[in-house]
Amino acid sequence: MKIAVLSRNTKLYSTRRLIEAIEQKGHESLVIDHLKCDIVMDDSGPVIYYKGDKLDTIDAVIPRIGASVTFYGTAVVRQFEMMNVFTAVESQAITRSRDKLRSLQILSRSGVRMPKTAFTNSSKEENNIMNHIGQAPVVIKLLEGTQGLGVMLAETEKAAKSVVEAFDSLKTRVILQEFIKEAGGADIRVFIVNGEIVGAMKRQGKEGEFRSNLHRGGHANLIELNAREKETALKAAECMGLAIAGVDMLQSERGPLVLEVNSSPGLEGIENATGVDIAGKIVEYIEQKVTK
């Protein structure tokens, strides 16, 4: 079987591990920079060209689409789908997960536990969005932020209003979310492949930091999930339509609360923390779905 990893950088840990896993299981691997793909359509059917070559011998693709190139990256994934090539993560699910507001709306509709969240089109005094959240402190997030960037903690209601008004003046939209103090600057990343939890870690932010992202200097350890945490993570991935997902949750007094469902979760932190061959699990999933 010929399996392509859609990635812009062959040196990234996740890309390297996927290539290793593909080849260790006896398959042919290929890394494709999705931004260098040409999408061609006519009455003979959809085609993709990469560096001048027609891609017509690929059996499956593993999308590793960065948030900054979601539009073109998902267009390439969708073209592969139109060509009847199996994609480990569907284009529509990637698009859905990358829209922070839409994903939270889907999770809410599905009854997934989450911190109370609010979004408004007005920052005027008469529309006090803080009334929907409760008392400060409050977390303010840019809709397009990733890896902890664009996430702020407003310690007071006055500070929250000022930040929202400032972003509103720049025509930049934000969401407000209740601050879960008891989480203590830590969260849980649950890695799911094909409806099964294959690894989980607890990420702790560095001292004085409420964000737990490893890219922000945090560290991770193996964690044993309880029944409610397992149920919540699986439900979140399912309602987002993601066969491969990284579900981020907070531990709170009222149980696990989902922050985000990631469609391209990194492998380095989770593999190092758990010792599990996550890349191999992804290739095994593809083997189950694609028969040659």
pLDDT in tens, 137-161: 899 988 875 555 678 888 888 888 8
Residue-number span of the structural domain to which 220 is assigned? 182-263
CA distance 16 to 126: 53
The CATH number of the domain where 169 resides is what?
3.30.1490.20
In a domain, 269, yes or no: no
| 197 and 175 belong to one structural domain | no
CA distance 98 to 174: 15
By percentage, how much of the chain surpasses pLDDT 90? 70
Please tell me the predicted confidence (pLDDT) of residue 159. Answer: 87
- SS3 label, residue 149: coil
| 169 and 189 belong to one structural domain | no
The CATH number of the domain where 219 resides is what?
3.30.470.20
In a domain, 109, yes or no: no
The CATH number of the domain where 58 resides is what?
3.40.50.20
pLDDT tens readout for residues 175-205: 899 999 888 889 999 999 999 999 999 988 6
In a domain, 165, yes or no: yes
The answer to whether residues 278 and 271 touch, using CB atoms and an 8 Å cutoff, is yes
Q: What are residue 268's phi and psi, to 5 degrees?
A: -65, -50
Band the pLDDT of 245: cuts 50, 70, 90: very high
* Alpha-carbon distance values, 229 to 25, 189, 198 (Å): 32, 11, 14
For residue 252, pLDDT beyond 70: yes
Please tell me the predicted confidence (pLDDT) of residue 126. Answer: 42
The C-alpha R_g of the chain, in whole angstroms, comes to: 20
DSSP string, 62-88: EE---GGGHHHHHHHHHHHHHTT-EES
Band the pLDDT of 117: cuts 50, 70, 90: very high
Domain stop point among 179, 197, 218 = 179
Rama region for 275: left / alpha / beta (φ>0; ψ in -120 to 50; rest) = left
| 21 and 74 belong to one structural domain | yes
| 214 and 237 belong to one structural domain | yes
In a domain, 106, yes or no: no
- SS3 label, residue 157: helix
pLDDT tens readout for residues 162-182: 888 888 888 888 889 999 988
Please tell me the predicted confidence (pLDDT) of residue 217. Answer: 54
For residue 208, pLDDT beyond 70: no
Q: Higher model confidence: residue 51 or residue 133?
A: 51
In a domain, 43, yes or no: yes
Average pLDDT over residues 122-130: 61
Residue type, 125: E
| 157 and 189 belong to one structural domain | no
Please tell me the predicted confidence (pLDDT) of residue 242. Answer: 97
Band the pLDDT of 82: cuts 50, 70, 90: very high
| 20 and 68 belong to one structural domain | yes
For residue 127, pLDDT beyond 60: no
For residue 123, pLDDT beyond 80: no
In a domain, 131, yes or no: yes
Which residues, 6 or more positions from 91, have their beta carbon under 8 angstroms from its beta carbon? Answer: 63, 74, 75, 77, 78, 81
Edge-to-edge strand ranges of the sheet holding 28-32: 28-32, 2-6, 60-63, 86-87
In a domain, 128, yes or no: yes
Angle CA 230–233–236, to nearest 5:
145
The answer to whether residues 27 and 281 touch, using CB atoms and an 8 Å cutoff, is no
The answer to whether residues 117 and 282 touch, using CB atoms and an 8 Å cutoff, is no
Please tell me the predicted confidence (pLDDT) of residue 169. Answer: 80
| 256 and 191 belong to one structural domain | yes
How does strand 2-6 pair with strand 60-63? Answer: parallel
| Strand positions, DSSP E, 91-182 | 117-119, 138-142, 151-154, 174-178
The answer to whether residues 286 and 86 touch, using CB atoms and an 8 Å cutoff, is yes
Q: How many domains does one find in the chain?
A: 3
| 218 and 198 belong to one structural domain | yes
| 16 and 68 belong to one structural domain | yes
Domain stop point among 157, 179, 201 = 179
Please tell me the predicted confidence (pLDDT) of residue 185. Answer: 84
Closest CA to 100 of 51, 53, 150, 26: 150
CA distance 232 to 247: 9
In a domain, 289, yes or no: no
Domain stop point among 151, 179, 207 = 179
Band the pLDDT of 80: cuts 50, 70, 90: very high
For residue 60, pLDDT beyond 50: yes
